[in-house]
């Protein structure tokens, strides 16, 4: 089970286990929170995320693309080491290197 929560005026947390069937809902939830923040930069904290797969990396890329279309900088912080390592193998470590 996953959780998407607002931490403060410019940050959101994604935690728990994200199942493949949850991805569309997770994406929509985070997109709504990003759109609702009145800030040029929003941080998504991933410290308590328990899912480490290519679908999560794809989700991050989709969210970055959506934020750019809204002229918002989206930053992912505190990714689990396994997720960062997966991104690095695929040349996608820039997702977490803001």
Confidence (pLDDT) at 98? 54
- Give how many domains the chain has, as a whole number: 1
Binned average pLDDT, 10 residues per bin, the chain of 98 residues: 92 97 97 90 97 96 96 96 95 86
**What's the CA gap between 31 and 92, in Å, rounded?**
21
Residues spanned by the domain of 68: 2-96
Prediction pTM value: 0.92
Confidence (pLDDT) at 19? 96
CATH number at residue 26: 3.30.750.24
């Amino acid at each position: 089970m996953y959780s998407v929560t607002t931490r403060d005026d410019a940050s959101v947390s994604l935690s728990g286990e994200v199942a493949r069937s949850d991805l569309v809902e997770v994406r929509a939830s985070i997109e709504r929170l990003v759109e609702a923040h009145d800030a040029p930069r929003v941080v998504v904290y991933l410290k308590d995320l328990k899912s480490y797969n290519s679908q999560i990396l794809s989700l991050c890329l989709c969210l970055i693309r959506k934020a750019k279309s809204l002229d918002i900088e989206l930053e992912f912080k505190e990714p689990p080491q396994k997720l960062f390592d997966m991104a690095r193998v695929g040349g996608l470590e820039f997702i977490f290197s803001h």
